[in-house]
Structure 1
């Protein structure tokens, strides 16, 4: 990891009083031809902060070696907006996009 003083990027800061979080639990399964495929169960968490979302994901992740957890912070566009909602990856990676990758999340102890 490289750490530098300050931030030299540019862009718009998006802030919301009520963020939501998308938690995906991915599992490898065999398809009809015997090849590995991916399936996911998704949960939307609201009325919580990022620490609550990370804790919930850790406590509710299914057990098993093939489970991959992916967590996004979500910014919802106003109803009727032409833009799509914004999902910001916080942890993990979608294993269906890189089938040969292995995703492991390490949780700090309380």
Structure 2
């Protein structure tokens, strides 16, 4: 089960920008980065040293900045899940799931 760090939101400098990062810990083996409507969320392995997070964020800085810019421009980041409509067209979702009923 994920647990929050004592300070759940911290500010990091990524590519010269101050970015608030929501941090959680879990039993996972790798660092997880997610960009969503609430900004950047990072899930760290339980034993991952917090001082190494800055290096991870700097390695992924181009991706983080591009996705945050997409979000600020009102476009859904390109990796958000898509829902298929009965006509075959897709629409982006900001929530985890959607239910559709066909007539």
The answer to which structure, 1 or 2, has the higher relative contact order (CA under 8 A, 6+ apart) is 1
TM-score for both structures, normalised by structure 1: 0.25
Q: Which has the higher helix share?
A: 2
TM-score for both structures, normalised by structure 2: 0.26
Q: Which has the higher strand share?
A: 2
